[in-house]
Structures are given as structure tokens and as C-alpha cells.
Amino acid sequence: MAINEKGPIYLLKAYTAETDFYLKLIYHIAQLHPKNLTDKDIVNRAFYVAIIARHSTLETVSYTGITYHSMIITSNDLEQCKIGTRIVTKTFFSTSKQMNVVLRCLHNNVDIDDRLSVICEYEILNQRTALDIPYISLFEGEQEVLILPYSIFNIVDIKFDKSNSPQVEIKLKESWTGTPAQPTAITQQSSTCSCRNQLPFILTLSNTNFDPTNAMYLWQSSPTGANTWSNLGTPSGLSTYEGAGQDSPSDYQCLILIQNPTPTIITSAIVTISNSYCPTFAMNCNQNNKIDNFILPGDFGTIINDQATGCSTNGYKAPNPSTLVLIVDKNYAAQVSTGGDSTGMFITIWIDLNNNFVFDNSEIISSTSLSGVSPGPITVIVPSSIVSGQFGQHRMRVMLTTINPATSCGQLNGIGETQDYNVQIVNGKLIIHY
């Protein structure tokens, strides 16, 4: 029927039937030497392999993914299996998508001597390496995947525990032979900040369909959209990169040197990480070193009126939705208390005037030392000289520290508290008075 209908399906059905045909076929195919085929070999066996491997009808059942196979081996056999060893299939090789199927076969062949029970996990990467044939097989419930001759796998992991069943687990990954698709750089941290290690991020790769054996990875960064790339360290055998932070929104990509089957360099698709405000390092605030009250009247009826707020979690309080309006070059009086004697404490106030998510020293609008239980008012002024026309919505940071000058990232394992607010800077010259 296979000849009359010119269909390879019948060849597969014959292979899966419970007859001696498949045993004799795999035995004779295993004896083939591709470089020294006789005419008899070509007609009797090589054609069979070629039809199964290349016939267009079977394109729809090509399989990539995970399959399983069980077997019994000796201790000497296990010693030959080393991580990194390359395995070549010399004949057709039956596996199953269902582990319970191969375990059942293993239990039906319980060892009665010193042999070891083994389950192998095969990761198939290339099209036409294997065929998914449960609907072709005469035994559909076995969920059979047929691995074709001359497929190459690498042993990537071996686990051995004689008290377990199975006693040996071997993971094998196919060597990639196709054209590698472009991997994609990904991260779970969509934004980070300039304070090192406050919002760390990890870069990884997805869609990696190449052979990773001996591959080298070099991560690069560029200001977002600039396409001017700088290396992050040196080439490494690790495909991940851990970043501590960034000063501005950045694009990231990875250059990958693939060794197998031939040396090739591919570049991943980029991932962009935006910037956000750092919550500051976790700071220790208690009765005498917290911002218990912060009151700052603004213009147009706006006011910050935080009273008896206590210690914020990790010494940081994020802004609420309200916005304080401040006019440039105008003096404002802020009231601050710490809940105790504030002697030796300092209050520093920044406004991120260029909205780059960094509080620079040039953006400090007030820096004052405190003393006593009820410190006097603090003068706050937003000079037009530092605003430079950058009116509108901004973030303001108020920080209580035991050191001066303070840094907007906070003291690492330090004492104090930080509170952030939304402010709007207004040009007083444009205000019309009636």
C-alpha cells in the first residue's frame, strides 16, 4: 500500500506493529555506514530512512519538545555517561511524551541483578529530528515520538540515587543544526534607579534555540534610542546579567558567540528599562530620628500637612496624589519635628527639576541643621537660577539624616527617614493679580 499510494504513513504503521519487522529494521539500520553504502543498503534500508526523514507528507508531524525513554543499563554503562558527552542515534529510537508510559515499561522490566533502571529525558530542538506519531501508531495510548537515525544529543545532566526508582535520570539536549533565531533580551524589572543596589535587575534571554555548548555572552547597554552600545563587563559563559542600577533609561542587548555547529555571532532583540525614583536605602528611624511632622504651606491653597506620621516602612514614604504649588524666588517656611530631641540631625530638601529621576546636589533647595525638641521654621526657596525655565510638575524629596551633606540615596544602613512629595513649580511673573 505504501508503494501504491506513495504514502509513508504505512511505513510508520509497519514499524509500530508488534512484529519482528521493527526489530530487524533497527538492527540492520544500525549496521549501516553512510560513507560506504552498497546498492543493497540503499535499496533495502537507506531509502526507508530517507523517506521517513524527508517525505513532505510527514512535515505536519515533525516534533520539537521533551520526550522520555527508559532502559536498563549496567554500572559500567553508567560510567561511560559523562556530562558533555555527545550521543548519536544510529537507528530509529522510540520515546514517549508521557513519562508514566516509559515508567510502566521500566516496571515491566525490573532488574534481577546489579543493573540500573534509567529514565532519559530528550529535549528535541530541530525540525524533522523526531516525528509525533500517536495517531499513526497502532498503539495510540503510548504517545510515541520517533527519533530518527543520526540525531545528535548532548548529555547535560545526570542524577544517580540507587535508592530511587528509577535509579538514574539522564537529561539530553539536541545539538542545534538550523539557523539560530534571534533571541530576545527580557527582564522582570521594568524600571530601576540610579542608587546602586536599591532596585537591582536581572537580564535573561528567551527564544534561545541554539546549542549553548561553549557559547559566550556579552551584554551591552545604550541610552534608550541612541544605539550607542557599551560593553557591560567581558564575555562570559553565563547568559544572565545582574545590574545594580542605571543613571538614565537604557536599552540592553546581548551578543552571543555560538560555537556549534559553526562559530556564529548573533545579537538579541533589545529590552528597555526605564528609570524610576529610588525609595532610598532602608533607614532606621525611631522616636528621635524620624520626620514626625512636616508642614509646608504653598500657594493657591495647597499645603503639605503631615503630622504625627511616625516611622515609615524602611524609613521611606512615597508621595500621595496631592500636589504642592511653589512659586520661584519666594520664601516659604517649613515646620519640621522629629518626635524628640533633634540635635545632631539635618534636613535636606531636593526638587528633581529636570525630571531625570535623580536628585542632584545642584537641585538642593534647603539644607538645615536641627536642634532641640521643637526646631524653628526652615526657610525653603526655589531659586529661578536653578529652575532655568523648568516649570511644571516635579518630585520633591525631604530627608532627615545624621550626616551633612546628605545623599539622596540615603545612608546605607543609616539613621533617619525620607519622605517624597509632588510639587508644581510656577513662574510668579506670569501670575495675574486682580
Residues in the chain: 434
Q: Write the CATH number of the domain with boundaries 293-430.
A: 2.60.40
Q: Quote the distance between the C-alpha of residue 250 and its chain's center.
A: 16
Report the pLDDT value the prediction gives residue 286, as an integer from 0 to 100: 75
Q: Count of CB atoms within 10 A of residue 133's CB?
A: 22
Q: Quote the distance between the C-alpha of residue 24 and its chain's center.
A: 48
Percent of the chain topping pLDDT 70: 84
Window from 112-116, 212-216, 276-280, 291-295 with minimum mean pLDDT: 112-116
Q: 382, 386, 411: which is closest to 399 by C-alpha?
A: 411
Q: Of 34-43, 45-54, 320-329, 331-340, which one has max mean pLDDT?
A: 320-329
Give CA–CA dist 19/312, Å, rounded.
Answer: 76
Give CA–CA dist 215/339, Å, rounded.
Answer: 59
Radius of gyration of the CA atoms of the chain, in A: 34
353 or 377, higher pLDDT: 353
What is the tens place of the pLDDT at every residue in 106-152? 765 555 567 888 999 999 988 888 999 888 777 778 899 999 888 88
Using the predicted structure, report yes or no on whether residue 34 has a pLDDT greater than 70: no
Cell numbers linked to 181 = 533565531
In the CATH scheme, what architecture does the domain 2-174 have? Alpha-Beta Complex (3.90)
Residue 317, beta-bridge partner list: 419
Percent of the chain topping pLDDT 90: 45
Q: Count of CB atoms within 10 A of residue 46's CB?
A: 17
What is the tens place of the pLDDT at every residue in 151-200? 889 999 999 988 888 889 999 998 777 778 899 999 999 999 988 888 89
Give CA–CA dist 381/105, Å, rounded.
Answer: 81
Q: Count of CB atoms within 10 A of residue 167's CB?
A: 19
319: preceding bond cis by omega (within 30 degrees)? no
Report the pLDDT value the prediction gives residue 57, as an integer from 0 to 100: 76
Report the pLDDT value the prediction gives residue 181, as an integer from 0 to 100: 82
Question: What CA–CA distances, in Å, run from 24 to 15, 29, 67, 143, 148?
Answer: 10, 9, 24, 23, 16
| pLDDT band, very low/low/confident/very high, at 16 (cuts 50, 70, 90) | low
Cell numbers linked to 48 = 526507508
| Model pTM score | 0.61
Q: What are phi and psi of 322, to 5 degrees?
A: -70, 160
Q: Of 148-152, 211-215, 386-390, which one has max mean pLDDT?
A: 386-390
Domain boundary assignment for the chain: 2-174, 184-275, 293-430
What is the tens place of the pLDDT at every residue in 295-347? 999 999 999 999 998 888 888 999 999 999 999 999 999 999 888 888 888 99
Domain 2-174 matches domain 293-430 at the CATH topology level:
no
166: preceding bond cis by omega (within 30 degrees)? yes
Mean pLDDT of 22-34: 62
Mean pLDDT of 398-427: 87
Give CA–CA dist 227/248, Å, rounded.
Answer: 14
326 or 13, higher pLDDT: 326
Question: What CA–CA distances, in Å, run from 323 to 80, 352, 367, 423, 425?
Answer: 71, 14, 22, 5, 10
Give CA–CA dist 40/66, Å, rounded.
Answer: 36
Report the pLDDT value the prediction gives residue 394, as an integer from 0 to 100: 97
Give CA–CA dist 102/106, Å, rounded.
Answer: 6
Give CA–CA dist 117/169, Å, rounded.
Answer: 9
Q: Nearest-5° angle of CA 116, CA 119, CA 121?
A: 150
Q: Report the C-alpha dihedral over residues 179, 184, 185, 191, rounded to 10 degrees.
A: 170
**Average pLDDT, whole number, for the chain?**
85
What is the tens place of the pLDDT at every residue in 67-119? 999 998 888 888 888 998 988 888 888 899 999 888 887 765 555 567 888 99
Whether the CA torsion 209, 215, 221, 222 is positive or negative: it is: negative
261 or 414, higher pLDDT: 414
Q: Which CATH superfamily is domain 184-275 in?
A: Immunoglobulins (2.60.40.10)
The contacts of residue 332 (CB under 8 Å, 6+ apart) are 296, 297, 298, 326, 379, 380, 381
Give CA–CA dist 48/46, Å, rounded.
Answer: 5
Cell numbers linked to 361 = 546636589
